[in-house]
Homo-oligomer: A and B are copies of this chain.
Amino acid sequence: MSDKKQEIAWGSRDSKKDVETGEKLAPKFDANGLIPVVTTDYDTGEVVMQAFMNEEALKKTLEIGEAVYWSRSRSELWHKGATSGFTQKVIEMRVDCDQDCIWIRVRTKGGANCHVGYRSCFYRSVSLGPEVPAEQLGALQLSENDKVFDPNEVYGSGPVK
């Protein structure tokens, strides 16, 4: 990878106006140096995962146009798909009003985003609302019927995430 990313300079966060109306990305990283990232499928709109980037991951993502996260469990840069082949091409990136969250819209090679084998990590829905009996609140139902891949074939039996 080149050092093109080294040239990226963030915008100003000096005022609320700068942050909400500025013309250059001015991301706010939290106390751990991370910013949350929401990843949706560009074509279906489905939320496929939520993860975090640190400053280096965000700069690499901007540079190469593929999703690079920070793995909190492994404490390392995580170029999504490096192991599984399911890389995420970033078609569009958005930032929110106070610039403390990133939204990326991706097309994923192979169509699977979750290590469990599903298209999306959010493969279960949750019962809620005033019409639901109290004992049923929080019950989970599968929203995806078929796995895209068998995790054992792709990752072997080792720990993944």
Contact = CB atoms under 8 A, between A and B. Distances in A.
Contacts of A116: 20, 97
A128 B11 CA distance: 15
Interface of A: 4-5, 7-11, 20, 22-25, 36, 38, 40, 44-47, 49-50, 61-65, 90, 92-98, 101-103, 114-116, 118, 121-126, 128-131, 134-135, 137-140, 143, 161
A38 B45 contact: no
A134 B94 contact: no
A79 to B, nearest CB: 14
Contact of A24 (B123, B129, B139): B139
A42 to B, nearest CB: 10
